[in-house]
Chain A
Amino acid sequence: MADEKTADEQHSEGSEANARMQELLKFTKIKPKAVELTGKIKVPDLKPNSMLEVKPQLLTVKEMLEHLGYPADGLVPNWKEVFLKKMDEILKKYRSVRLYMDICVKCGACVDKCHYFLGTGDPLNMPVARQELMRKVYRRYFTLPGKLFGSRFVNGADLSEELLVMWYTYYYQCSECRRCSVFCPYGIDTAEITMAAREILNSVGLVQKYMHEIIFKAQTIGNNLGMQSSAIVNALEFVQDDLQEQLEMDDIRIPVDEVGADVLFVTPSADFFASPHIESLYGYAKVFHQAGISWTMSTHASEGGNFGLFIHNYEHMKKINKRIWEAARDLKVKRVVGGECGHMWRVLCNYSNTMWGPFDYLDPNYKRPQHICELTLDLLKRGALKIDKSANEEFTVTMHDSCQVSRAMEMGGMPDGQYEIPRAVIRGVCHKFVDMPAETIRERTFCCGAGQGLLGDDMLPTRVKGAMPRMQAYYRAKQESGVNFVALICAICKAQLSKMFPTYGLPMEEVGGVHQLVGRAIVLGAKEGV
């Protein structure tokens, strides 16, 4: 028993390890650099370890960490034990993750499909290499040969602080966009592996700041921005006044917390704060007004986004999602409609029912939420909106498919609805629409470079490099077809691309929402059809 360490000894070793870890993960500001736009996406030369320095900031605010149920003092003293316990729990809970650990045959189909690999050349950004970071631990600790004969026998990895650093670095250079999984013959979903890895890192006390600060705000205040009700009301009143003034109409409204409205409209809080997001809010309001739909927004459900998905933590996701269903019940609405937000649509449409359903208090015709593009297209088809396409004459529009909508969802209950519906809306309000190259859109779309918790300024070097394929594809469409506007249905993509465009030498005004275009083209007042 002489070898057994006392609790004190263990604790002091633990705090040493924590201090080392804080040092290893210390945030360093790196100036991002954009490549020149040529319109071509080339497979880069390998640059091993070139992205090893780029790490996101750690969350250190105790109050937030405690609220979220994560260790509040950095790396826990018995981290190896906690790590393996959490990994075991995840492998048992998500059989998909266990399957992905077992079935990869290293065929290499995924290696040049990741935008972060294409942008950085760092071999650890190849999806298979990213997965291997977890697979090495899996083989060592969760397979019989690994348990019996150790890591060398199974090409595994023993838990070490260096390994934690690699995990924290490269699982935060994945935007869980799932492009690689489209090309994987086995359909291995790197996103699920990344989500699991992040949750394991959280459990040992390495919690990324950007994403978790937002989860905290969404749970405690009600939205990602941390806007209090009074600020939301002020912002929405401003938009309403502005609309009334612009249009010289005093009956166009942005209703807030109105009991008995037919539609509860939820959208990312960025839509009533940031640019170009806010332009789509003008569009939504015009659509509802012109169609004569009674609608309301809610200060309680003031966020559509749900960052709990990014770590696949059901508890967090459920807490955030709950506000929408509470608001729907309290406001006695008949249906729920979601605005332009990528992952919101995934959580709202795919997961809601298993979290807080069944929604027997909604209109049985609308048992699941509708996407605003579905609603608008339906109105366009029925002739309920009078459109003047010439209002968008200055634009040749293309569409960036956002990853969560494109690869994790459907829309409108029809095959390819998630691609066709937004495009049909754009074509319905613009004369000129051109798609970007086929290998960069629809199910093969490239991520904007900042999805799933990587939108913080601390991640700018990763964001700039990861945006490269999308930027090149856009540039090609610009050269070949004179495209000068990219329409989107995701708040993260809007924020990222409107920052990346000037970084790559293009005007930020070329980025905007689908409903920004809709809003410009609707002719209000003159009602025909319905």
Chain B
Amino acid sequence: MRTIECAGKKIELDEDGYLTNLNDWSDDVAKLLSKEDNLDLTDAHWEVINFLRSYYQQYQIAPMIKILVKEIKKTMGADKGNTKYLYQLFPDGPAKQACRYAGLPKPTGCV
């Protein structure tokens, strides 16, 4: 467990770098977390992050990757609606890395 400081506020992360308290999330937190991985968040990243957050608010879990792919296809075009593109955006895997930046809990189970 460790803490990061964002806009003067101490924010707790678990051992894997996910937010302990999901309400701590803000755009700046996402930027800070991605910066630690030397990743600059582009509009495309934000598209994914925002969709993950709105889906989570409704269903209390991240969407399956196919749902995410379809959404990206809808908003960003057919050439980007595939898993490969998502892995380009989030090299550690959209399910884990993108969820972490979006302030969602880590998925558990056989995944």
Which positions in A face B, CB cutoff 8 Å?
27, 29, 57, 210, 213-214, 217, 223-228, 230-231, 234-235, 238-239, 242, 268-270, 272-275, 277-278, 305, 341, 455, 457-458, 491-492, 494-495
Scan B40-60; emit 1 where CB is below 8 A from any A CB, else 0: 000000000000000000111
Chain B residues contacting A278 (CB-CB under 8 Å) are: 64-66
Q: A269 near B67 (CB under 8 angstroms)?
A: no
Taking each of B58, B66, B111, which has the highest tally of chain A beta carbons within 10 Å of its own beta carbon?
B111
Chain B residues contacting A27 (CB-CB under 8 Å) are: 15
Q: B111 near A270 (CB under 8 angstroms)?
A: yes
Chain A residues contacting B107 (CB-CB under 8 Å) are: 225, 273-274
Residue of B nearest to A225 (CB): B109
Q: B110 near A224 (CB under 8 angstroms)?
A: yes
- Complex-state Cα separation, A341 to B108, whole angstroms: 16
- When A214-B108, A224-B108, A268-B110 are in contact, do A273 and B15 touch as well, CB less than 8 Å? no
Q: B16 near A458 (CB under 8 angstroms)?
A: yes
Residue of B nearest to A270 (CB): B110
Which of B90-111 touch A at CB < 8 Å?
Answer: 95-96, 106-111
Scan B56-87; emit 1 where CB is below 8 A from any A CB, else 0: 00111101111100100000000000010000
Q: A235 near B64 (CB under 8 angstroms)?
A: yes
- When A234-B59, A274-B64 are in contact, do A457 and B16 touch as well, CB less than 8 Å? yes
Q: How many residues of B sit at the interface, in one of the four size bands?
A: 20 to 34
- Complex-state Cα separation, A345 to B28, whole angstroms: 46
Q: B67 near A231 (CB under 8 angstroms)?
A: no
Q: A273 near B111 (CB under 8 angstroms)?
A: yes
- When A27-B15, A230-B59, A231-B59 are in contact, do A275 and B109 touch as well, CB less than 8 Å? no
- When A27-B15, A230-B59 are in contact, do A275 and B110 touch as well, CB less than 8 Å? no
Chain A residues contacting B61 (CB-CB under 8 Å) are: 225-228, 231, 273
Chain A residues contacting B64 (CB-CB under 8 Å) are: 235, 238, 272-275, 278
Chain A residues contacting B96 (CB-CB under 8 Å) are: 457
Q: A274 near B95 (CB under 8 angstroms)?
A: yes
Residue of A nearest to B60 (CB): A228
Which 4 A-B residue pairings sit nearest by Cβ, starting from the closest? A224-B109, A491-B110, A231-B59, A274-B111
Q: A270 near B109 (CB under 8 angstroms)?
A: yes
Q: B65 near A213 (CB under 8 angstroms)?
A: no
Chain B residues contacting A224 (CB-CB under 8 Å) are: 108-110
Residue of B nearest to A275 (CB): B65
Q: A57 near B111 (CB under 8 angstroms)?
A: no
- When A213-B108, A234-B59 are in contact, do A274 and B16 touch as well, CB less than 8 Å? no
Residue of B nearest to A60 (CB): B1
Residue of B nearest to A274 (CB): B111
- Complex-state Cα separation, A455 to B66, whole angstroms: 22
- Complex-state Cα separation, A275 to B65, whole angstroms: 7
- Complex-state Cα separation, A305 to B111, whole angstroms: 12
Chain B residues contacting A225 (CB-CB under 8 Å) are: 61, 107-109, 111
Cross-interface CB contact of A305 among B15, B60, B70, B109, cutoff 8 Å = B109
- When A228-B61, A458-B15 are in contact, do A275 and B108 touch as well, CB less than 8 Å? no
- Complex-state Cα separation, A173 to B95, whole angstroms: 26
Q: B66 near A223 (CB under 8 angstroms)?
A: no
Q: B108 near A57 (CB under 8 angstroms)?
A: no
Sample 21 A-B pairs with CB under 8 A, ordered by A number: A210-B108, A224-B110, A226-B61, A227-B59, A228-B60, A235-B63, A238-B64, A238-B67, A273-B64, A273-B107, A273-B111, A274-B95, A275-B65, A275-B66, A275-B83, A278-B64, A278-B66, A341-B110, A457-B96, A494-B110, A495-B110
- Complex-state Cα separation, A261 to B102, whole angstroms: 40
Which of B5-24 touch A at CB < 8 Å?
Answer: 15-16
Chain A residues contacting B67 (CB-CB under 8 Å) are: 234-235, 238
A193 CB, min distance to chain B CBs, angstroms:
24
Chain B residues contacting A269 (CB-CB under 8 Å) are: 109-110
Residue of A nearest to B56 (CB): A231
Residue of B nearest to A58 (CB): B15
Cross-interface CB contact of A214 among B58, B65, B95, B109, cutoff 8 Å = B109
Residue of B nearest to A457 (CB): B16
B75 CB, min distance to chain A CBs, angstroms:
16
B110 CB, min distance to chain A CBs, angstroms:
4
- Complex-state Cα separation, A213 to B109, whole angstroms: 9
Residue of B nearest to A239 (CB): B66
Residue of B nearest to A214 (CB): B108
Chain B residues contacting A455 (CB-CB under 8 Å) are: 110
Chain B residues contacting A277 (CB-CB under 8 Å) are: 110-111
A527 CB, min distance to chain B CBs, angstroms:
28
Q: A492 near B108 (CB under 8 angstroms)?
A: no
Chain A residues contacting B16 (CB-CB under 8 Å) are: 457-458
B100 CB, min distance to chain A CBs, angstroms:
11
B90 CB, min distance to chain A CBs, angstroms:
14
- Complex-state Cα separation, A29 to B14, whole angstroms: 12
- Complex-state Cα separation, A494 to B109, whole angstroms: 12
- Complex-state Cα separation, A458 to B18, whole angstroms: 13
A343 CB, min distance to chain B CBs, angstroms:
10
